[in-house]
Chain A
């Protein structure tokens, strides 16, 4: 059973058709590279999977359960098995520790000590030990992106959605994020990595799905894929 199964998925805003007839599966522990030029619909697809938006057509099965059209309470419980990192990470006006532990606090399951320990571990894994008390909004772009990754990683999600996590970073910071993603590749978390960088896909992804103008034009091993642009 695939962790995520998408069939005939479509999304329109008014007359603009952003996604058309998407069929895709993601297995547990797999890293799927979602590659496509700007405006091809990568972010829209990730938002639909994360249940931030409702699809116009088609369906999404997560852990073999239909997710679209469900009441918000059910969507919330499914959303809590995923985490998404946006292209431009938003830092809440708080310390790094409060930012990283945000999702844990929302779930209310971990006590203060456990949250502190998990936050510390996540920050160490992202190469930011000792950053707990720093103001999150005073960090550099690369550091913010790593905090956003730590914030998602600390939740130990079944599915991690990454929307061009290195797009706005300098080469050094991007390489450091790639190293962190490599660590994720060794964990049991499934990852959808949206990017327009084929090199990054080849380095990190088990499979690659190619989006062009809202359509999925190819899915396969990265070495088998030839980009149409």
Chain B
């Protein structure tokens, strides 16, 4: 009951952690989307040696442990790392960067699957009506937009619910890099179960909302087709 009270009374700490978690995860999903959707398009539309192997590798990275990505990003942005000069470690920007890397394989892979699902009749129709190669790619992405949006939403969901990158790159600094998952881990270890429960309920509610949104998009798509 105390956990529900914390949510109902809009406890400042709960609100602040929730908003930060949503902001960081949305930013990482957006950043990854901007890079991964065109990249997925290029991989799907171009013919090159090792394409199948590359797609298999990308799909293998779907289940990459978050702590492994956290470690790699840590090495990359720590003071002695190649990106050390950017001062990203223990900052929200660093967390966005790390989570964007974490969700990239899912977004690239699902974009490839989405575009492949559009099929050659759409490409042939666009081509026969005089579309250039770039116009065909844009047409196919537009046709697959629901599945591409689903890929971004899934990326957001994975970023929001992961703990490894957020903990290792953000450092769980109160009022600065503390997000839902790292706060739950910390508060549970400190025995503050009411706050942990409140944050956990919010995390589940956001995941549920993402799923409902996804189903609504897909439902509309099925109805149209």
A positions within 8 Å CB-CB of B = 47, 50, 52, 72, 76, 79-80, 82-84, 86, 88-90, 92-93, 102-103, 106-107, 135, 137-138, 151-152, 155, 161
Docked complex Cα distance between A83 and B139 (Å): 18
Specify which chain B residues have a CB less than 8 angstroms from the CB of A102 in the assembled complex: 126, 129
Q: Is the CB of A90 within 8 A of B122?
A: yes
Which residues of chain B are near A83, meaning CB under 8 Å? 128-130
Residues of B within 8 A of A79 (CB): 127-128, 130
| Residues of chain B at interface, number, CB under 8 A | 19
Instruction: Kindly state whether residue B125 has any CB partner on chain A within 8 Å.
Output: yes
Task: Name the interface residues of B125-169: CB closer than 8 Å to any CB of A.
Answer: 125-133, 135, 139, 142-143, 145
29 A-B pairs, CB-CB below 8 angstroms? A47-B124, A52-B124, A72-B133, A76-B130, A79-B128, A79-B130, A80-B130, A83-B129, A83-B130, A84-B128, A86-B125, A88-B121, A90-B121, A90-B122, A90-B124, A92-B122, A92-B139, A92-B143, A93-B142, A102-B126, A103-B130, A106-B130, A106-B135, A137-B224, A137-B225, A138-B224, A151-B129, A152-B129, A155-B130
For A92, the chain B residues whose CB sits under 8 A away are: 122, 125, 139, 142-143
Is the CB–CB distance between B129 and A93 below 8 Å?
no
Query: Nearest B residue to A103 by beta-carbon distance?
Result: B129
Bound-state CA distance A167–B90 (Å) is 65
Q: Tell whether, in the assembled complex, residue B132 and residue A106 are in contact, meaning their CB atoms are under 8 Å apart.
A: yes
Output the least CB separation between B146 and chain A (Å).
9
- State whether A107 and B130 are in contact (beta carbons under 8 Å apart), knowing that A93-B142, A93-B143, A137-B224 are contacts in the complex: yes
Point out which of B121, B127, B133, B145 has the most chain A C-beta atoms below 10 A from its C-beta: B127
In the bound assembly, the distance between CA atoms of A50 and B121 in angstroms comes to 14
Is B128 a contact partner of A106 (Cβ separation < 8 A)? no
The CA of A102 and the CA of B131, in the complex, are separated in Å by 9
Chain A residues whose C-beta falls within 8 Å of the C-beta of B143 in the assembled complex: 92-93
With the chains together, A88 CA to B131 CA distance in Å?
A: 19
Q: Is the CB of A52 within 8 A of B128?
A: yes
Contacts of B122 in A (CB 8 A): 90, 92
Interface centre among B129, B131, B225 (most CB of A within 10 A): B129
Residues of A contacting B135 with CB < 8 Å? Answer: 106
Contact indicator B128/A50 (Cβ below 8 Å) = yes
What 0/1 pattern do residues 187 to 225 of B give for CB contact below 8 A with A?
A: 000000000000000000000000000000000000011
- Chain B: CB-nearest residue to A75: B127
A93/B224 in contact, CB under 8 A: yes
C-alpha gap A151/B128 in the complex (Å): 11
- Give chain A nearest CB distance to B140 CB in angstroms: 10
CB distance from B120 to the nearest CB of A (A): 10
Q: Please report the C-alpha to C-alpha distance between residue A50 and residue B128 in the assembled complex, in whole angstroms.
A: 7
- Determine the distance from Cα of A162 to Cα of B92 in the docked complex, in whole angstroms: 58
CA gap between A138 and B222 in the complex, in Å: 12
The CA of A72 and the CA of B126, in the complex, are separated in Å by: 15
Instruction: Chain B residues near A151: list those with CB within 8 A.
Output: 129
- Residue among B132, B133, B145 having the largest count of chain A Cβ atoms under 10 Å: B132
A89 proximity list for chain B (CB < 8 A): 125
Write the nearest CB–CB distance from B4 to chain A, whole angstroms: 42
Minimum CB distance partner of A87 in chain B: B121
A103 to B132, CA, bound (A): 11
A148 nearest in chain B by CB position: B125
B147–chain A nearest beta-carbon distance, Å: 12
Closest Cβ of chain A: how far from B221's Cβ, in Å? 8
In the assembled complex, the CB of B139 is this many whole angstroms from the nearest CB of chain A, namely: 7
List, in ascending order, chain B residues with CB within 8 A of A135's CB: 224
Assembled-state Cα–Cα distance A80/B126 (Å): 11
Given contacts A86-B124, A92-B139, A93-B142, contact A106 B129 (CB under 8 A): yes
Known contacts A79-B128, A90-B125, A102-B126; 16 additional CB pairs below 8 A are A50-B128, A72-B133, A76-B130, A76-B132, A80-B130, A86-B128, A90-B124, A92-B143, A93-B142, A103-B129, A106-B126, A106-B135, A137-B224, A151-B129, A155-B129, A155-B130
